[in-house]
Copies of this chain bind each other. A is one copy, B any other.
């Protein structure tokens, strides 16, 4: 089996380090023990060759043989189909994993990432226009709380859905947004205590630091 190739930026500023989305792909590959290597594109100059792989000029993308895949969700699903360590093979387990993968990205992150953009921009808490996004995130976390208080992992065994959801929650936690949702925080802590996360995180930090 040829190596998977993950492409990320050659360098990013210090603030996003540890949060760049190649982390989710590295984490999955480490969990599954799949062989891979990491390549880089310039952060400062998004050329046509970059956009041909990733139309939004972002990272990561994954090359598997003659197929190039963008969108972290699509990459996680692709890897899930290649390793039972990432997605159960039975129809119901597979279906639940895919539903929770989309839930992480399209229900929780759709609320949390825009909220985090306002946090990064230092928009004060009492700004009236923050309320729709504060409420949106709270609504999602309130629904996740009973789910995560009753199970270790979203879809039975640990899966790509947990990689996505835990990493989504990490960004909320960075701005202390999980303080009122202890089950969400416990879940995130459980997921990021896994050796595969630690390896992926350390590798991303080292990758960007090497270009300083």
Give A residues with C-beta under 8 Å from B.
Answer: 51, 55-58, 66-67, 69-74, 77-78, 91-92, 95, 98-103, 105-107, 109-111, 113-115, 117-118, 120-121, 123, 127-133, 136, 139-140, 143-144, 147
Contact of A132 among B67, B98, B99, B121 (CB under 8 A): B121
CB atoms of A114 and B110 under 8 A apart: yes
Between-chain CB contacts (< 8 Å), 8 pairs: A55-B144, A73-B106, A74-B98, A74-B101, A102-B105, A110-B114, A118-B129, A121-B131
CB atoms of B99 and A71 under 8 A apart: yes
CB atoms of B56 and A99 under 8 A apart: no
CB atoms of A56 and B107 under 8 A apart: yes
Task: Indicate whether A114 sits within 8 Å of B99 (C-beta atoms), given known contacts A56-B143, A143-B55.
Answer: no
* Leading 9 A-B pairs by shortest Cβ distance: A114-B114, A71-B102, A73-B102, A74-B99, A123-B129, A105-B106, A117-B132, A74-B102, A129-B129
Whole-angstrom distance between the alpha carbons of A118 and B117 in the complex? 14
CB atoms of B113 and A110 under 8 A apart: yes
Whole-angstrom distance between the alpha carbons of A92 and B118 in the complex? 37
Whole-angstrom distance between the alpha carbons of A147 and B52 in the complex? 10
Contact of A71 among B69, B107, B136 (CB under 8 A): B107
6 additional contacts (CB under 8 A) given A70-B103, A106-B106, A109-B110? A55-B143, A67-B91, A69-B99, A70-B99, A78-B95, A114-B115
Contact of A92 among B57, B67, B133 (CB under 8 A): B67
Q: Name the residue in A56, A92, A99 with the highest tally of chain B Cβ atoms < 10 Å from its Cβ.
A: A99
